[in-house]
Structure 1
Amino acid sequence: MLKKSYKIVFVPYTIFLLYLMFFGMGRTQSEDNLLTIEPIFSTINFIKGSVSWKDIIIIVGGNIIMFIPFGFLGWIFPKLDDLKTLLFTFISSIVIIEALQYFSRMGIFEVDDILLNTFGVFLGFLMKKIIEKRFKNWVI
């Protein structure tokens, strides 16, 4: 039942997430191609310069939480049930998406986004394994 529901929701969710990454939250095309390649420091600087905890939770937490569902991709694509394969595939995909943001100037290529998104996928993978063990009858 869970696998079937996931399969139904996955494509619309992915389209929604891509919309957010390119057009959501008032994004407009910037004049320059923007790039942030300093891992961790850009997130730390964002937190230091942030006006509110709400912004921090939305941006940093969102970059993790919104990608948790991709940790369940093994339910659709059995080859992605292996953590190494899942992470390699996801990192390759997210780097392409970040590059598209950079070249289209509809976002910033940020290494921290790649790290936070990948952490979300990892958490999702762990959650999937726990769900599969605890709720065997529901995961069909």
Structure 2
Amino acid sequence: MKKIVKMIFCISFVFYLFALLIVLFLGSRGASWSDLTMLEYIRYSSNIVPFKTINIYLKAMVDGSMNIDIPVKNLVGNVMLFLPMGIYLPIFFRKTNKAGIFFLSMMTMLLIVEAIQLFTRRGSFDIDDFILNILGALIGFGIMKTTYFQKLCIANPKLKVFGKY
């Protein structure tokens, strides 16, 4: 049983990473902006004002000025995108089992992802995406730390899949 559960976690982590790669770097991004210099692209496609996009989407949801699918997909999607990372990262990388190290690891990872998206023109640098992704990862980390999850998947004395936490 232990090997089966561990194998399921490993396989699902690989599929998650593959899906993350597709969503973050290979998906369709609309206009290519190829006629702009890199500095112009950075200036026009970056948002460094915290909660700017989040507020726009929340206001649009309240006043109905935008199709509800757009803000919901953006807000909920960005949170859900990294929620599994909050579960997987501490399981596979024990040092990230502590909240502070996990938080710093996620911040570093997400800043790298945002920078790669920006410099490859596969997206933009949006501090609000960063905030929502961090929030999702922290929710996942919180789920992973619950007694219920620990008993169910990790610390079950009969399974001992990933050792003692």
User: Normalized against structure 2, the TM-score is what?
Assistant: 0.75
Aligned to 1:27: 29
Tell whether 2:142 aligns with 1:123: no
Describe the superposition over 1:30-70 as per-residue Cα deviations: whole angstroms up to 9, x where unpaired: 33232100001221123434622222221100100121111
Q: Distance in 1 between matches of 2:59 and 2:33?
A: 24
1:5 to 8, 29, 50: 8
Identical-residue share of aligned pairs (%) = 29
2:107 to 85, 88, 91: 91
Q: Distance in 1 between matches of 2:143 and 2:102?
A: 14
1:40 to 47, 51, 57: 51
Where does the alignment leave 5 or more consecutive residues of structure 1 unmatched? none
Answer yes or no: is the 8 Å Cα contact 1:37–1:111 preserved in 2: yes
Quick one: higher RCO (CA 8 Å, sep 6+), 1 or 2? 1
Where does the alignment leave 5 or more consecutive residues of structure 2 unmatched? 35-40
User: In structure 2, the residue corresponding to 1:67 is in which secondary structure?
Assistant: helix
Q: Distance in 2 between matches of 1:60 and 1:120?
A: 10
User: Normalized against structure 1, the TM-score is what?
Assistant: 0.87
Q: Distance in 1 between matches of 2:96 and 2:22?
A: 24
Tell whether 2:75 aligns with 1:70: no
Q: Distance in 2 between matches of 1:18 and 1:112?
A: 20
Q: Pairwise CA RMSD of aligned residues?
A: 2.0
Tell whether 2:75 aligns with 1:60: yes
Q: Which runs of 4+ in 1 moved over 6 A?
A: none
After TM superposition, the structure 1 stretch with the greater mean CA deviation from structure 2, 59-68 or 46-55, is 46-55
1:132 to 150, 159, 165: 150
Q: Distance in 2 between matches of 1:4 and 1:109?
A: 35
Cα distance change on mapping 1:80 and 1:3 into 2, 3 Å: farther
After TM superposition, the structure 1 stretch with the greater mean CA deviation from structure 2, 67-76 or 46-55, is 46-55
Q: Distance in 2 between matches of 1:60 and 1:36?
A: 15
